[in-house]
Amino acid sequence: MLEILCVVDDDKIFTYLLKRIIEKAKIAREIIFFENGRDAIDYLNSHKEDALKLPQLILLDINMPILDGWQFLNEYGKLKPDVPRPISICMMSSSSEMEDYNRAMGSGHVMDYLQKPVQIPSLKEVTERVLSFLGPK
């Protein structure tokens, strides 16, 4: 089970559903929701010293106002060296375009790309990978 999971998505219905899925599948202890990339980056920036406040996994949507998924990745790249523990990012989108998949995986910060509607098994699989990556506490 993850300590902190971040969901960055502007679709309220989808985030509501995600919350229920995550709680049902007991994937994370704490879930923080952000409606756009700007809010998410601001949070990361203000807590970058504090390892306990930082998420292990971020589920990132592509289409959002103010700062979209790609722009978030850009900003995250600048902040990555300052972060004590690596954060895994998994992109989510209803887009099935190969270009989006390639762009995500090519950014260097994304570990996987899930297509909406997101199924529980896929989420679980991603979580397992993150946990094994982080190693035993």
Partner 1 sequence: MTPETAQHLAISDDRITLCRTGSATMKASQDGLPEQIAEFFRGIFSQSEWPARWYCGSWSDFHGWLYIVSDIVIWAAYFLIPIFLIRFVRSRKDFPFPKTIWLFIAFIAFCGATHLIDALIFWIPVYRFSALIRFATAVISMTTVYYLFKIFPNVLLLRSVSDLQREIDERTAVEEKLAESEFLLSAASNVGKLGGWEYDPATGQFRWTATCGNILETNEERIQNETDLLRFFPEPYQLIVRAALRESIDTGSSWDHELQITTATGARKWVRFSATPSLNASGQVNKIRGIIMDIDRYKTLELKLIKSIDQMAQKNSQLQSFTHILSHNLRNHSSNIALLADFVDESTLTKDNEELFQKIKTVSRHLNGTLDDLSQVIKIRDNHLEGEKLNIREVTEQVLGVLDENLHTSQAEIGMDFMEEEIVFPRIYLESILMNLISNGIKYKKDNQHPVIQLRFYRNEKGLKVLEYSDHGKGIDLSLHADKIFGLYKTFHKHEDAHGVGLFLIKNQIEAQGGNIQVFSKVEAGITFKITFNENA
Q: Which residues bind partner 1 (CB under 8 A)?
A: 11, 13-14, 17, 20-21, 63, 94-96, 116-117
Report the 10 Å Cβ neighbour count for 129. Answer: 15
For residue 23, the minimal CB distance to partner 1 (Å) is 11
User: Considering the complex, what minimum distance in angstroms separates the CB of residue 118 from partner 1?
Assistant: 8
Q: How far apart are CA 80 and CA 63, in angstroms?
A: 22
Nearer to partner 1, 81 or 121 (CB): 121
Shortest distance, position 40 Cβ to partner 1, whole Å: 19
CB of 9 to partner 1, least distance (A): 10
C-alpha to C-alpha distance for 97 and 93, rounded to whole angstroms: 10
Euclidean distance between CA atoms 55 and 42, whole angstroms: 13
Nearest CB to partner 1, comparing residues 44 and 64: 64
Q: How many CA atoms lie within 13 A of 113 on its CB side?
A: 20
Q: Which is nearer to partner 1, 20 or 78 (CB)?
A: 20
- What is the rounded distance in angstroms from the CA atom of residue 130 to the CA atom of residue 111? 9
For partner 1, the closer of residues 15 and 127 by Cβ is 15
